[in-house]
Amino acid sequence: MAKVLTVDEMIDVLDQINPDNTYRLELEALADTIAKDMADQLGIATSGASYDLGGTMATFKPAIPGQAMPDVLNNVDEGGEWDD
């Protein structure tokens, strides 16, 4: 048996044993770059990514009022809302 950790879980463990947040900041910067690239490619808006509440997350929304949600986002964050 083995423990399988997500990247965010590894960051949480590191924060407990060594509060130097270097890896968290690097992960957050990478996630921010990915979020902005994804938003550009999909023609939507993002406020960027951040590490909070035990996870690295990004928020996406319409770039213009009434913009339809890209199909590729249909199967993620099923409880999330898509509106202006």
Rounded distance between C-alpha atoms, residue 45 and residue 54, angstroms: 24
Whether residue 67 lies inside any domain: the answer is: yes
pTM of the model: 0.83
Contact in structure between 12 and 3 (CB atoms under 8 Å)? no
Question: Domain total for the chain?
Answer: 1
pLDDT at 23: 87
Whether residue 43 lies inside any domain: the answer is: yes
User: 38 is in which domain, residue-wise?
Assistant: 7-73
Whether residue 83 lies inside any domain: the answer is: no
Whether residue 81 lies inside any domain: the answer is: no
pLDDT tens for each residue of the chain, 84 residues long: 999 999 989 988 988 898 888 888 899 999 999 999 999 999 999 999 998 876 899 999 999 999 999 999 988 888 788 876
HEC sequence for the chain: CCCCCCHHHHHHHHHHHCCCCHHHHHHHHHHHHHHHHHHHHHCCEEEEEEEECCEEEEEEECCCCCCCCCHHHCCCCCCCCCCC
Whether residue 82 lies inside any domain: the answer is: no
